[in-house]
Structure 1
Amino acid sequence: MPLATPDDIAARLGRPVTPDETPRISAFLEDVTGLIEDYCGRELHRRQDESLTLHAEGGCLLSIPGRYLTFPTVSAVQVDGQALTGWTFNGRQLVYADGWPTGPVTLTGSWGYQTPPASLRAVACSEVIRWMALSPGIESERVGEVEVSFAASSSGQSLSATSTAALKPYRRRGVGVMTLQRKGPRVFGY
């Protein structure tokens, strides 16, 4: 499910979407949702009761990749096709006191926003409207002094600098990053 709908696009265009435009807009909404999720490093629209297979390497903790940590819930865990009980979920990791066996562990759960925030919907809509305004193969146009830039590949679809700036609060931050500070006086010039 995309972060916005053709009705959201129509509201921003200030006119109804024609039946001929609907398939193109729907495809663009799917594309922009994928680009936004890839840029942010997380799945943002709600996936309900999906299966995810992780590889356990022993130990009591099994980390869930950050991509799936937007409002996650875990409803079931299986090992070798058999339901496993006695596990807990702490919001980032599955905890199993007996220790995870080495190999695949399949979890069933849900993640992503129930309703995307308005800012994500706005970014998705603005990108789709921008893409619709460009002729196929054209990356940008300029009216004064007539300038046209053609896309290097078959698709000029990418997130604009404005959109990437707006998405910064949703972008996943690095895990395990630590800031080190030197004790003593600061020495400048090095």
Structure 2
Amino acid sequence: MPDLADVADLEARLGRPLTPDEQARAAALLADASALVRDFTRQDFTRVVGDTLVLRPVGVLLRLPQRPVTAVTSVAAVGPAGATIGALSGWVWDGRDKIDLSCVSPAGSWPLNWTGSLPDTYQVVYDHGTDPVPPGVVAAVCAIVLRTLLSPSMVAGMVAERIGAYNYQVQQSAGAAGASVAMTPADEKALARYGPRRFGTIGVEAG
């Protein structure tokens, strides 16, 4: 999955090109920061076509976890053994992130001997994400990376060091970055709007 920001985004915020030493670390730090942001928000952000997952509804509603949803290709019932029973028709996508199953009907492949109630899980194929990545997400990733990239020491918590002829002085700060990226409460606050919405649909597996 592509990073959520790139070197050009970092340089635009720095107002200068990265130094050779900074360039050597930038790719890994961008990948790490992108992973942190995706883990925190549970969103991919970048565009994905044909994503397949299995969901268990609440009532007659399925909520698709990745946003924004740009298309829903198909909905299929999943049988007790985990195999899809058949494509369904009659479902309605609300144009945002919910699928209404109240009017679903078999599309010809539902077994004739099916005697139970509606299936417990459904396989959905859908497209989601944006191109480009939302500016707020790019800004957060760059802030996380630059805090580490510009840290004066590779030791977490160290913000300055001085070596004189006869002395060595270290100044510590709990908020200073080290060699690894980390999110701060300010980062989390900025990204909170992109996090998962409260809803009862359960993701059973990802395809």
What TM bracket, shorter-length normalisation? 0.5 to 0.7
Provide the rounded CA distance (Å) in 2 between the counterparts of 1:98 and 1:172.
Answer: 27
**Counterpart check, 1:142 vs 2:159:** yes
Partner secondary structure for residue 7 of structure 1: helix
Q: Percent of pairs identical after alignment? A: 27
TM-score by length of 1: 0.68
**Counterpart check, 1:77 vs 2:78:** no
Partner secondary structure for residue 133 of structure 2: coil
Corresponding residue for 1:161?
A: 185
Q: Which of 55, 70, 87 does residue 91 from structure 2 map onto?
A: 87
Partner secondary structure for residue 69 of structure 1: coil
Which has the higher Rg, Structure 1 or Structure 2? 2
Deviates more, 1:159-168 or 1:118-127: 159-168
1:140, distance to aligned residue in structure 2 (A): 2.4
Give aligned pairs, total. Answer: 170
Call closer, same or farther: CA 1:49–1:11 in 2, change over 3 Å: same
Question: Which gives a bigger RCO, structure 1 or 2 (Cα 8 Å, sep 6+)?
Answer: 2
Partner secondary structure for residue 159 of structure 1: coil
Call closer, same or farther: CA 1:19–1:98 in 2, change over 3 Å: same
1:28/1:128 contact within 8 Å kept: yes
Corresponding residue for 2:131?
A: 114
- For structure 1, list consecutive stretches of 5 or more residues without a partner in the other structure: 177-190
Corresponding residue for 1:39?
A: 40
Q: Pairwise CA RMSD of aligned residues?
A: 3.5
Provide the rounded CA distance (Å) in 2 between the counterparts of 1:155 and 1:82.
Answer: 51
Provide the rounded CA distance (Å) in 2 between the counterparts of 1:28 and 1:113.
Answer: 22
Call closer, same or farther: CA 1:24–1:110 in 2, change over 3 Å: farther
1:175, distance to aligned residue in structure 2 (A): 4.5
Call closer, same or farther: CA 1:73–1:24 in 2, change over 3 Å: farther
- For structure 2, list consecutive stretches of 5 or more residues without a partner in the other structure: 78-83, 106-116, 162-168, 201-207
TM-score by length of 2: 0.63
